[in-house]
Amino acid sequence: MITVNGVETPWRPGLTIEEILKNIEDEFSIVVVKVDGKTIQKNQHPTFKVPDGASVITIDVIAGG
């Protein structure tokens, strides 16, 4: 089991950030992801394997002017 934005979510071996993001309905295309407090770069999302028991937080980045 992992926690994604405060919600307990099932975990499985090999689960990646990219897979987690696909399951989150999010209207923003730019997202910062932290796993256990460590920021994971966007180019690592397809391959970064989230460990069991991890806390995952997504932060929407909004720009405007």
- Check: CB of residue 56 under 8 Å from CB of residue 17: yes
Would you list the domain boundaries of the chain?
A: 2-60
pTM higher than the cut 0.85: yes
Cα distances (Å, whole numbers) of residue 20 to 46, 58, 64, 65: 10, 10, 27, 30
The 10s digit of each residue's pLDDT in 1-58 is 999 999 999 999 999 999 999 988 765 677 899 999 999 999 999 999 999 999 999 9
On the question of pLDDT at 62 being above 80, the answer is no
CATH architecture of 2-60: Roll (3.10)
